[in-house]
Amino acid sequence: MISQADRDRIEAAVRDAELQTDAEFVCVVSEEASDYSGVPFLWAAVFTMIVPLVPLILFAFILQVREAFLGWIVSPSVSEAAPVSAMAFYGSLQCLAFLIVLVLLSIPSVRRATTPRGLKRRFVRQRALEQFVGKGLGGSARRNSVLLFASPMDQCAEVIADVGITAQAGQQTFADAASVLTRCTRKGQIADGMIAAIGVCRRDLAARRGSTDERINAVPDALTDLTAEASVS
């Protein structure tokens, strides 16, 4: 998904930014934050509840018209069986609609297109937080970690900064970095987005750098590609 040349560019940007600031930058990319396996069932359920109502209402209307104009030739047994027929018809339509929608939305490209953007953002945020905690970024003594997370298929990105480095630069710095990374992610420019977002952080953090020259590189500077790691394992 990301070429070795782009990986090297990101690693160099991280290394340079860490030399000029007090931050510990970590870049992570994942093709998708989730497989969204529940989305087809959700839309199938909604579709099943709403769409079959249209032919059911039409069916009921036809029955009423028949009763009004042809009731004198319709036997009582037929009239009594009409509601049962309508319910059976509705149930059959529900099952058919559910299966059709479920099969269609099981196609990956269709599932991605029909997944609400808000749900994608929530999963991307959750996955980024999992990486932040899983890599132990929130437990550093200086609380100076900054995680940049991008998901190209979801077209979403997150920047999570620990409390120490946020106090130094301000929340707006990392919000601006997240906006830059998100815009580039939507264009498929992951490496450019990572480098630009790091640049935004470096610009503000370099001006507020502490007096210490000590640099503890607790996390490797290289990009973490979760999709590539999953395929290898």
Query: Between the CA atoms of 175, 176, 178 and 184, what dihedral angle is there, to the nearest 10 degrees?
Result: 160
Q: At the topology level of CATH, where does 4-35+116-232 sit?
A: Diaminopimelate Epimerase; Chain A, domain 1 (3.10.310)
The tokens describing 219, both together, are: 């996390």
Summarised one tens digit per residue, pLDDT across range 180-191 is: 999 999 999 999
Q: Is the pLDDT of residue 79 over 60?
A: no
Q: Is the pLDDT of residue 161 over 80?
A: yes
Share of the chain above pLDDT 90, in %: 42
Mean pLDDT of the region 58-68: 63
Q: What's residue 71's pLDDT?
A: 52
Long-range contacts of 173-176 (CB under 8 A, 24+ apart): 173/200, 173/201, 173/204, 173/205, 174/146, 174/201, 176/200
| pLDDT level of residue 64 (50, 70, 90 thresholds) | low
Q: Is the pLDDT of residue 73 over 50?
A: no
Q: Is 153 exposed, middle or buried (0-12, 13-18, 19+ CB in 10 A)?
A: middle
Q: What's residue 171's pLDDT?
A: 92
State the average pLDDT for the chain: 82
Q: What's residue 72's pLDDT?
A: 46
| pLDDT level of residue 4 (50, 70, 90 thresholds) | very high
Q: Mean pLDDT: which of 71-80, 156-165, 204-213 is highest? A: 156-165
Beta strands 145-151 and 156-161, pairing class: antiparallel
Rounded to whole angstroms, how far apart are CA atoms 131 and 140?
14
Q: Mean pLDDT: which of 36-50, 55-69, 129-143, 163-177 is highest? A: 163-177
